[in-house]
Amino acid sequence: MKAWQYEFEKRKEAEPVPLTDAEESWFGFAEMMEQRENLLAMFWQSQVPGSKAPEALFIEMIQAWSNRGYDVSEAEKYIEDGLNALAEGRMRELEIISARIMKELCEAPVDDDHSYWRYENPTSWAGIREAMKAEGDPEKIEIAGEKLEEKILAGWQGQIAGGAYGTALEGYTGETLEKHYGDKLNYYVSEPDTYNDDITFQIAFLKALSENGSKLESDHIADKWLELIPFGWSAEYFALENLKRGLYPPLSGSFNNFFSEWIGAQMRTMICGFTAPADPLKAAYYAYLDSSVSHEKNGIYGGIHSAVMTSLAFNYNNTREIIYRSKDYIPVGSEFYHYFKLVLKACENNNSAKESWNKIKHEFKKYNWIHTYPNMAAVVTALYYCDNSFDRAVRILAGCGLDVDCNAGEVGSIIAVMDPKTITKKWIDPFSGKLKTYLPGYEELSITGLANWTVESQIF
């Protein structure tokens, strides 16, 4: 169909209709204005669903861009004005201040003295693959049948339980959680709920893989985001807005996406390991395709690392060995690699998770609690010291604080795949075998059915 022809015919056939008063003619405008102002207020002051931890996304945006090696001093000048405008309800002025912050970030000059620019951060799959130490896939084995089914079901159960455990805890420091909850951190501190946005993105990936198989591309995953996911936060919010404007991967993940090295990819690519069992290189490639929708550079490496460790868990029975083998799939020379080595060294040189974390956490104080680096550090620390136990791992993660639901979901996936017996009934019985989401058409899923769907998507 020709665009001009459609518009010409529509205009030719149009006839005047009875006019109503102005208020009725502009029906819905007031509601749209209210929705816009509510969203703007959320970006300046909100609470994390589940834990009610405070967030200020516009300020965190400035922080994130500073972490990326840019001089954000001009944008920082608007912080106090923005907070005052919000407090006094001057929403039209806050709209301008918000736009000015975005403008200053887009035009922010490079800070040549920033450590970010000392590292090599390849963006293409070819560049990332070349920067990995991994040669071929010596770990690759074929796993199928009942063993595969058992491990994938356990992986989903571990991820759902981990996410539910951390939902009430995310956004706080470990010290605060320890002081507030104490020994209650050995189990769910509130009624567990399976609602978790981390899982929704994995369902979108699974549907894209099921429909496209070996021809899967990032664009296919992006289409499923548009079809299924109504709203995102931080990196995913900007990615969805970019996609709606026709900016597909990798632009959806990189264009004016100030959160593109946050945890969003790392929190969701366990599905890439589930669908490439004992094949870490394939898992890494799947994670690259998925992560590129909303992230770039170190954000993508976080997604790759999560997928690789999940894939390796199908073939190894020790979490420390999984950590060490995962190192070969991180681009050497990247900032992610630098921090991974730093954390691993701290684990090797200290006697407990608490001691190691206290030695290393100061390295991440400039990073937001949702950034990839500090959460990777918490995941590695938990896997290193958990003695292959899910219970010990999530307890360590609570002691680290930060994005506990994402981290516990990742660690839960890895440990449960490695040893399904570690996910005991006390963790999974509260869900009655059901997963609830806000995705249209997937409001309630059988966890066993989700696992079966994952198995059926395997391409050997």
Minimal CA–CA distance to 338: which of 136, 135, 129, 121? 121
Minimal CA–CA distance to 388: which of 449, 450, 458, 318? 318
Q: Which residue has the tokens 């029906």?
A: 27
> H-helix or E-strand containing 225?
helix 218-228
Confidence of residue 295 (pLDDT cuts 50, 70, 90): very high
**Count of CA atoms in the C-beta half-sphere (13 A) of 83:** 8
Q: Which domains does the chain have, with CATH numbers?
A: 29-116 (no CATH), 125-456 (1.10.4080.10)
The confidence score (pLDDT) of residue 101 equals 97
Burial code (b: 16+ CB inside 10 Å, e: under 16) for 189-217 equals: beebbbebbbbbbbbbbbbbbeeeeeebe
The confidence score (pLDDT) of residue 26 equals 59
Chain centre to alpha carbon of residue 409: 11
Report the C-alpha gap between 353 and 375 in whole angstroms: 14
Report the C-alpha gap between 281 and 259 in whole angstroms: 26
Residue 447 near residue 433, CB atoms below 8 Å: yes
> What pTM was computed for the model?
0.94
For residue 160, the cross-strand partners are none
Q: Which two tokens stand for residue 274?
A: 């589930």
Report the C-alpha gap between 138 and 307 in whole angstroms: 17
Report the C-alpha gap between 348 and 231 in whole angstroms: 41
The confidence score (pLDDT) of residue 16 equals 85
The confidence score (pLDDT) of residue 356 equals 97
Cis peptide before 430 (omega within 30 of 0): no
CA angle 221, 224, 229 (to 5 degrees): 120
pLDDT digits (tens, 9 = 90+) for 143-160: 778 999 999 999 999 999
Average pLDDT, the chain: 94
Look at residue 401 and give its three-state secondary structure.
strand
The confidence score (pLDDT) of residue 68 equals 97
pLDDT for 24 beyond 60 = no
Minimal CA–CA distance to 270: which of 251, 284, 252? 284
Residue 356 near residue 332, CB atoms below 8 Å: no
Report the C-alpha gap between 175 and 32 in whole angstroms: 42
The 8-class DSSP code of residue 353 comes to H
Cα end-to-end span (Å), the chain? 41
Q: Which residue has the tokens 């407990």?
A: 352
pLDDT for 242 beyond 70 = yes
Look at residue 139 and give its three-state secondary structure.
coil
Q: How many of the other CB atoms lie within 10 Å of CB of 373? A: 26
The confidence score (pLDDT) of residue 243 equals 98
pLDDT for 346 beyond 60 = yes
Average pLDDT of the residues in 50-57: 93
Average pLDDT of the residues in 56-62: 96
Burial code (b: 16+ CB inside 10 Å, e: under 16) for 313-344 equals: bbbbeebbebbebbbbbbbeebbbbbbbeebb
Confidence of residue 30 (pLDDT cuts 50, 70, 90): confident
Q: Which two tokens stand for residue 6?
A: 């459609």
